[in-house]
A and B are shown apart, each in its own frame.
Chain A
């Protein structure tokens, strides 16, 4: 029997996205691109996207990662595709807040099904796994080509460089 913590994290939807990740692969035409690393475990994620004006008209990812990270990336790409840069940035902020337990899930937010990752806040060592795709997306939108969860204490507010 699994207990509530792992039940709340390793849900069907996460396992499904891990098994059949959406938007997995590369883009022929990409205006923005970044690679995210988690040096603690060696995981890395490559995210490419194409901005049509302010709108993300295509996005793809690939890399080596755990189920939490891969599912997070898969669901993220599915959600941000077609959205504006501003909408994506709002989601990045909300997802980060949720992962570290600072988002009131009862308040108004835009995360929708992404709240399946809320359980990660109870697993401090896994927060970075869930956040890495979002961190990398932010780097791509800011046209920073490489980033790392260890760039600074708070990965989402990091001064991003060649980590």
Chain B
């Protein structure tokens, strides 16, 4: 069994007290049918630590009003806190300027924003958009809608059996019609970490902008958008220990300025008459209407929380979990891991010979273990790897080796039932 090598600089990784961290997450104390909850569905949504919950409560109890409007105390406070959260997100991904951080409702919303704001303006008939086999439906469907509307064409980067992108094939897809590239940083179904930095450099050498779907990356590693040099980077709050209904679109300022607005409404305008509307500057141009203020502020607190632990420490802990879980599950006969990339995050997709994922999911749930079963919103991946569905255990830094043991024991119970 090939284990993943650490991609970290070891001197940056520090050990944190796992029990101390777990104590921050009230939901982890939950019992499911009398069994302690073992939450291994973090790629679908992560749990929220008390400091983030407290921040939401503090906002609602002492700071809430609409932003960018009133001259009164609460409105000024809420506006200041909302913008402070934007700066926290800016620092979190090392964006050059805070106006490059657009609050959206999530990754899907962010990708749709780029499709409407950039795609509909700059991509036309006969143009080509490069996506990959690994993409989540949210980074496929918007571009299909655009391609249909404009008469553009989608080209797809293939993967190998391990679930790794074939970079040579990616490079061969480029031609003079190539106008856009969309790639996920980390595969939600398989955990593959894609070599996006070199893929971005290759596209840029041909004048093609690149969107990175970072929903599965930002919770698990340090991300530096300036270092990556991506043009757009998208992620969701609820996979980052933050609230649902909030996400981020990072975009380079010069691109965001040239884009057309996505949604029209209040806040995104400077002046409106029935003859002509002048749009506001970025980021406000893309934040029409009252945003999810509380969620945005909560996300800022989530980022504070993660940075206090340290993204490198988080990555180190999760790598240990992945290696241990991979080792343990490999000893269970009849189990095949789906997604064996050399470099991956703590995602373990697998199939058990003769047992349907839904039966595995239901029976693991009876042991208190929460996993995801199904096609994980990546039907093209399932089709390519010839599996109808998988069971997926996805880990977070607050998971423990003892939880891995419970999960593996549950899996053995499932097998016993089916033999």
Contact = CB atoms under 8 A, between A and B. Distances in A.
User: Are both chains from one complex?
Assistant: yes
Interface of A: 2-3, 5-6, 9-10, 15, 18-19, 40-43, 64-68, 123, 125-126, 129
11 contacts: A2-B367, A6-B362, A10-B359, A18-B418, A41-B373, A41-B375, A64-B388, A66-B356, A67-B356, A126-B358, A129-B358
Contact of B33 (A3, A10, A67, A126): A3
A129 B374 CA distance: 13
B31 to A, nearest CB: 12
A41 B374 contact: yes
Contacts of A2: 363, 366-367, 413, 417
Contacts of B413: 2
Contacts of B418: 15, 18-19, 67
Interface in B166-222: none
A41 B366 contact: no
B355 interface: yes
B134 interface: no
Nearest to B364: A6
Contacts of B10: none
A129 B362 CA distance: 12
Contacts of A9: 362
Interface in B404-419: 413, 417-418
B87 to A, nearest CB: 41
Given A10-B417, A41-B389, A42-B389, A123 B362 contact: yes
B34 interface: yes
Contact of A66 (B33, B359, B379): B359
B36 to A, nearest CB: 13
B330 to A, nearest CB: 24
Contact of B34 (A3, A19, A67, A123): A3
A10 B362 CA distance: 10
Given A3-B34, A41-B389, A68 B359 contact: yes
B371 to A, nearest CB: 13
A40 B373 CA distance: 10
Contacts of B375: 41-42
B366 A5 contact: yes
Contacts of B356: 43, 65-67
B358 A41 contact: yes
B355 A67 contact: yes
Nearest to B417: A10
Nearest to A5: B366
B366 A40 contact: no
Nearest to A126: B362
B366 A6 contact: yes
A72 to B, nearest CB: 13
A-B complex: 3 closest residue pairs judged by Cβ atoms: A66-B356, A6-B366, A66-B358
A42 B388 contact: yes
Nearest to A123: B362
A66 B354 CA distance: 10
Contacts of A19: 418
